[in-house]
Amino acid sequence: MIVIPAIDLKDGKCVRLKQGKIDNDTIYSEKPFEVAKYFEQIGVKRLHIVDLNGAFKGEPENIDAIKEIISNTNLVTELGGGIRDLKTIEFYLNLGVDFIILGTIIVENFKILEEACKNFPGKIIAGIDGQNGKVAIKGWTQITDIDVITLSKKCESVGIREIIYTDISRDGMQTGVNVEATKSLQDKVKVPVIASGGVNDINDILKLKQNNIYGVITGRAIYENTLDLKEALRVCADD
Q: Which helix (H) or strand (E) holds 215?
A: strand 215-218
Bridging pattern class, strands 76-80 and 99-102: parallel
**Domains, the chain, with CATH or none:** 2-235 (3.20.20.70)
Instruction: Round to whole Å and give the CA distance between 133 and 1.
Output: 24
Q: What's the pTM?
A: 0.92
Question: What amino acid positions are annotated as catalytic residues?
Answer: 8, 129
How distant, in Å, are the alpha carbons of 1, 18, 155 from that of 147? 26, 23, 12
Tens-place pLDDT, residues 7-62: 999 999 999 776 556 666 788 889 999 999 999 999 999 999 999 998 878 788 89
Whether the Cβ atoms of residue 6 and residue 39 lie closer than 8 Å to each other: no
73-114 pLDDT, tens digit per residue, is 999 999 999 899 999 999 999 999 999 999 889 999 999 999
Residue 182 identity (one-letter amino acid): T
- Nearest CA to 60 out of 24, 94, 21 is that of 94
Beta bridge partners of 136: 129, 143
**Residue 121 contacts residue 160 (beta carbons within 8 Å):** no
The answer to whether 78 touches 98, Cβ cutoff 8 Å, is yes
